[in-house]
Amino acid sequence: MIQAIATYLPPWGASSAREAGPDEDAVTLAIAAAAPLTRHDSHPTVRRVVLVSRDLPLLEGGNAAALLAGLGLDADIEVKEQLGGAPAALEAVADGEPGTLVIGSDVAGRAGAAAVLCSTEGTDLVMANRLHRSMPVTTRDASGAVTDYADPRLLRDLGLTVSLERASVTGKVAAVAGLTGKDAAALCEGDPPALPTVGASAPLFALAALAERGVGGRLLAVEQATVLLTELSRGPIDVTRDESPAMPIPQGSFTPGPPISISLAAYARAFDAKLRLEAERCTTCGTLAYPRRYRCLGCGSEAATENFVLPREAEVYTTATIRVPVPGVTTPYTVVIAELGDTGVRLLVHLTGAPAGTVAIGDHGRLVFRRVAMRSGVPDYGYGFLPTNRTEVAA
């Protein structure tokens, strides 16, 4: 059963198609979408995470550790990373047991992410039919090169139409994920919801739209010639959206430079503190230390400390915009020293989700999970300061 859905769209691009920012990838998009479902007191405990995407950053070693850290979940929770599109994500929701968090994340093409939390309470989504067929009109090789055979009629007539017939899918459906424009409208009844993505997140956006309308019905997910049909009951589902108005990606100047190397020992040592935003609190005087120190800065105690999760709410303590060319970096860019809540802890982070130079001392916002850099092919994650001049709608 579906209890809650959360969605995220990057602020960049156009209203019809969003683009991932330079500090975003499939993992950061997934965390932006799913974070409201893991930090809400009324939601059940997450026991399993399923991440569906065709844009996973690390194909060697996996992305589970960064995903769990960014969501604030324990490192021993089961994570399934699945290469797939709309049918795979919808199937994961239909098969999801209570406590399963399903996330669909798309970077290439239309960027966006959405997450569904399965529970013992909520609204039923049941599998009706599915059919897997191969009609590879678009392919992507191991290096990321895409080949598009550009034959939509072939895909429509010999792919989708045949698949629907073989799967005994007849009549109109409430929504279609994986198709756009006239192809999607031709299969739908009434006024189907317009979906911002066509990949793994598309059926989750469709579920959110149907839930907000208070209607159920059949939901069809399509990827090339593979189809999957589900039936959504009518019932209550909490929907949270983080979808600010679209704006053009700021233009900048990239200065070529040598690739940034990485020290894996330093990377591992700082991983939890940096990605989980956890400080240590002195058990003698209560002073917070970030990062962890062996001697308390307040009282000098060397006694054992306790873990303290830092708040994400932040205020700009000071800021600077760098406009001079920096090798390997696009300029201009803005960095801020952000003070976290009332803890007194301050972090140096970059500005994200807004053009450079658009924040000032005293501005409020929150820290969000972002990709700080790529170092020797490794996504180096951290946090960015996101100002609160964005619209978030909870339904």
CA triplet 5, 371, 35: central angle to 5 degrees?
Answer: 20
Q: Which residues make beta-bridge pairs with 238?
A: 4
- Asked whether the predicted pLDDT for residue 135 surpasses 90, the reply is no
Spatial contact of 27 and 49, defined as CB atoms under 8 Å apart:
no
| CB count in 10 Å sphere of residue 299 | 12
pLDDT of residue 206: 97
For residue 390, pLDDT beyond 70: no
* Residue 111 DSSP label: -
| Max intra-chain CA distance, the chain | 75
pLDDT at position 15: 86
Q: What is the mean pLDDT of residues 287-305?
A: 91
Residue 193, pLDDT above cutoff 90: yes
pLDDT in tens, 55-68: 999 989 999 999 99
Helix (H/G/I), strand (E/B), else coil: 377? coil
Instruction: Supply the pLDDT for residue 152.
Output: 74
The amino acid present at 64, given as its one-letter code, is A
Domains and CATH numbers, the chain: 2-243 (3.40.47.10), 312-394 (2.40.50)
pLDDT band at 42 (very low <50, low <70, confident <90, very high): low
pLDDT tier, 395 (very low <50, low <70, confident <90, very high otherwise): very low
10 Å Cβ neighbour count for 87?
26
User: Does pLDDT of 391 surpass 70?
Assistant: no
Give yes or no for residue 340 having a pLDDT over 90: yes
pTM above 0.95, yes or no: no
Question: Which amino acid is residue 198, in one-letter code?
Answer: V
CB atoms within 10 A of CB 211: 23
Measured in residues, the chain has a length of: 395
* Residue 257 near residue 327, CB atoms below 8 Å: yes
Average model confidence (pLDDT) across the chain = 92
- Whether the per-residue pLDDT at 394 is higher than 60: the answer is no
Rounded distance, CA 133 to CA 136, Å? Answer: 9
Beta carbons of 303 and 295 less than 8 angstroms apart: no
Q: Return the exposure string of 119-130: e unless at least 16 CB atoms fall within 10 Å of the residue's CB, then b.
A: beebbebeebbb
pLDDT band for position 301 (50/70/90)? very high
For every residue of 43-102, DSSP letters joined together read: SPPP-EEEEEES--S-SSS-SHHHHHHHHT--TTSEEEEEE--HHHHHHHHHTPPTTEEE
Q: What is the rounded average pLDDT of the residues 328-345?
A: 94
Query: What's residue 104's pLDDT?
Result: 98
Residue 257: is it exposed, middle or buried by C-beta count within 10 angstroms (0-12/13-18/19+)?
Answer: exposed
- pLDDT, tens only, 171-190: 999 999 999 888 899 999 98
